Every structure is written in C-alpha cells, then in structure tokens.
Amino acid sequence: MSKINLRASTAAVLLCAALPAAHAIENGAPITPFGVMDFGAGQVPPPSEYGTVGLRVASYRASKLRDNDGHVSAVKPDLAVDSVGVAFIKMTSYSLGDAKFGWGAVLPYLRTSLDLEVPTPVGSLALSGKNSAQGDLQLIPVILQWNPAPGWYANVQLQVQLPTGGYDQARLINAGTNHWTVSPVLAFTHIGASGFEVSSSIQVNFNGRNKDTDYKSGIEYLQEFALGQHVGPWTLGLGGYYQQQVSDDKAASLASGNGNRARVMALGPAVNYFDLGSGWPLVWVHAYKEFGARNRSQGTHGAIRAAWTF
C-alpha cells in the first residue's frame, strides 16, 4: 500500500467518535462530533481483507457561554466532555461507476460533566450533572470514493446516528441525544507536487425530535479543514472547524422569536505522522481553540487518533 492510502485510514475511520463540545441544541447535549476530520479528509482506506480499525480519544473544556450577540453569558459553566471512540471501516472491491464502495460504523463512550452557576434575583442557583455512558451509535451505510486526478481525492458518505446512547430526561447533560440524526458528508483532499496539502469536509445534520421532551434541534452545517506541509513522515500545519446552525430549534419551551441558533469557529495546530515500515499506526494529533461563539459554549478541544488496516 502507498503511504497516502495507509495514511487515509485514520481520516476515514474516525468520522464519528465523541463530541468535543456542547452547543445550542437541547440542554447543550452533544449531537455529532466536531474536530474529527483534518489531514486526509478526502481519502479512505484501501480495500483490505479485514478492514480498518480506528481509535480516537478527545477532550473538551469550556468555562464560558456566549449569548445570541456573542457576549459572555451571566450563566457560568464548567463543562467537560471526554470521549473514546472505536470505529470500523470496510472498503470493498465493488464499484458504482467510477467510485469505490465501502461502509462503516462508530461506537463512542463519553464521560460528561456540567456545573452551572445561574444568577437569580435571590442569589446564585447551582446546578450540576454528570453522565458516563455509551454514546449514540453511528452507522455509515454508504461510502463512495473517487480519485479524479493525480493528487486529488474525494468521497461522499451517508451517516445515520441512532438514539442508543445513555439518556435520562432528568439529567442536566447526557451521553446520548434521544433522537435520530442523518448526515450527508462531502470531503476532499489535494496534495500538490511540493507536498502541500489542503483538506476539508462538509457535513449537514438533519436532526429528529426528542420524543421525551418534544424538542427538535435545527439543521446544522459543519465544515472541518486542514492546511499543512508534508515533511518526510510528518504533515505539519493548521486545522479547525466552523459550525453554523442554519434553522431554528423548535420547542414550546423556547421564547417567542428565539431560534437558539448556534455558531462557533476553531483553529489550532494539527500534526499527522506515518512512517511506512516502522510498525507504527497512522497517528493524528490536534489542539484547537474556539472563538466567535453564539448561543453555545466556547472552549478548547484536543484529540489524538490512530488507525490500523488489516
């Protein structure tokens, strides 16, 4: 296998680990992960006998909430989300036109905690919640991969997130969302003759309704990216993401005219390492700082990922 094909295993396999942040959806609970795709976003593993297995460990911390105007909210949070995700990707020898066909699945485990200090006319109200449990299972029934030209890679995927994670309506924060989410994804990678790489993925989340609370989160646009230079076995550069909720949340509990739309951007260093023949897996590391948040938390996110093709 070429270095590029092997290096792609992690990028494809770690589409869906655990969410790095809580945002302006119901109770600030996670829906789908941020900060997953960076280098090699448009690449997928080559066909292999047993497939590709990936592991992702991520951590998110936030101590500020931003309101609809981007101002720091009077509500003071202490939010922590730690996650471990195990993924499997199987690319096959079957083709649909010029595209190679594959499929996959991801199972995350989350440890979440949220402490809130809420100001009231009679003093501060302290709220606290924790949940350590399996997150929502994500299935990827369709992966289509193209290589339209030398140095160019592209794929489309359909992700379906099932409400299988830990959930209790009475908890302040949950590992599961208690609703379905369907997410089409488009991703590409270009590696030039000089070794400079541009990668990006675009995902749109269509969220179902939480049957226990009758809350429906709005449609979300998520774009992740990475720019970097290949130097021997290393790829060094910058990565990040942009998330924008493009339709209103819908619930009787929302104030009239308040769509609760979330937005955030993140940027930080990203590194990829792979040395063919060394025996080491493909490894990715990044550390992002969020800014420009609206209707959600604003914090820091770090992750390390690895993958093995068998």
Return the HEC string of 72-91.
Answer: ECCCEEEEEEEEEEEEEEEE
Domain tally for the chain? 1
pLDDT tens per residue, range 223-233? 999 999 999 99
Q: Mean pLDDT, to the nearest integer, of 232-253?
A: 93
- pLDDT of residue 135 exceeding 80, the answer is yes
Flag the least confident range among 61-65, 129-133, 272-276, 290-294: 272-276
Predicted pLDDT at 258: 65
Alpha-carbon distances, residue 99 vs 144, 153, 205, 211 (angstroms): 5, 11, 24, 38
Predicted pLDDT at 259: 81
Distance CA 269, CA 253 (A): 40
Quote the percentage of the chain above a pLDDT of 70: 89
Q: When comparing pLDDT for 48 and 9, which is higher?
A: 48
Predicted pLDDT at 270: 98
Phi then psi for 279, rounded to 5 degrees?
90, -10
The SS3 call for residue 286 is: strand
Flag the least confident range among 95-99, 150-154, 235-239: 95-99
Distance CA 163, CA 173 (A): 15
Closest CA to 166 of 250, 127, 108, 220: 108
pLDDT tens per residue, range 271-303? 999 887 788 899 999 999 999 999 899 999 999
- pLDDT of residue 136 exceeding 50, the answer is yes
CATH number at residue 60: 2.40.160.40
- pLDDT of residue 113 exceeding 80, the answer is yes
Between the CA atoms of 83, 84, 86 and 87, what dihedral angle is there, to the nearest 10 degrees? 40
Closest CA to 103 of 149, 154, 160: 160
Cβ contacts of residue 147 below 8 Å, gap of 6+? 153, 154
Q: Which single residue is written with the structure tokens 């160019």?
A: 152
Strands 196-207 and 209-210, by their bridges, are unpaired
The range of the structural domain enclosing residue 296 comes to 3-309
DSSP letter for 194, please: T
- pLDDT of residue 239 exceeding 80, the answer is yes
Spell out where 135-262 has E strands: 138-149, 152-161, 181-191, 196-207, 209-210, 215-216, 220-231, 234-245
